[in-house]
Amino acid sequence: MASTTRPANRQNRQNGSVRKNRGADPSPARTRDTRIFRFPATVSKPELLDGDGSSDKTFRQFLYDFSVLGSHLEFARAYLASQLELSSPQYNILMIIAQYQGATGVGVSEVAQHLHVSTAFVTGEGGKLEQAGLIEKRQNPKDGRGVLLRLTRQGEAHVLRIGPMRLLVNDHLFASLSGEDFSHLARSLARLIDDFSNTIKMLRIMQRE
């Protein structure tokens, strides 16, 4: 008898639970959220605001576009560097030396200035290029303590070998720019370098506090 009663009791409890649930009041419908979030401007300089100064959408889009341009440029540079089995920084240093070495070589500090990096960084990466046989160091005849960097014959061959591909990549990267566009962009970026550098210095100080 016990074995036949228990399933029936269990079924009755389940049926009662179903009936109870069916009889429960439905939850009230949620009110639709129609709030409009007012995104505050992220810049206060009037020249960077849209029209009447109530929005900075153009500025925000510029930041997004600028960030994407940087990542695309770095990809292109890394590709060219990989063709010479170099890292991107090493590739940059090699190109700067090739462009500015002249007849005697180019100083470490000048290479650092062009690339906006420290002389210690150029010295470290330049040492790797020297070990690879691509550059050589010479004492600066005008300064017994100074060092001049110059391409070796192997380094010159590397620069010449990558030339056609570098030309193709650069022509494609900047295909839509007119001469006037390029001049304006080059001047603007040169001014922004100092602003960006000063901002990074400020953030690093804040980070340490």
Measured CA to CA, the distance from residue 149 to residue 143 in angstroms comes to: 14
Residue 12 in this model has a pLDDT that exceeds 50? yes
Residue 22 in this model has a pLDDT that exceeds 70? no
First to last CA, the chain: 79
Residue 202 in this model has a pLDDT that exceeds 90? yes
pLDDT digit string (tens) for 36-64? 888 888 999 999 999 888 899 999 999 99
* Domains in the chain: ranges and CATH: 72-170 (1.10.10.10)
pLDDT digit string (tens) for 160-176? 999 999 999 999 999 99
pLDDT digit string (tens) for 56-86? 999 999 999 999 999 999 999 999 999 999 9
The larger pLDDT score, comparing residue 20 to residue 47, is at 47
Lowest mean pLDDT among 25-29, 85-89, 156-160, 167-171: 25-29
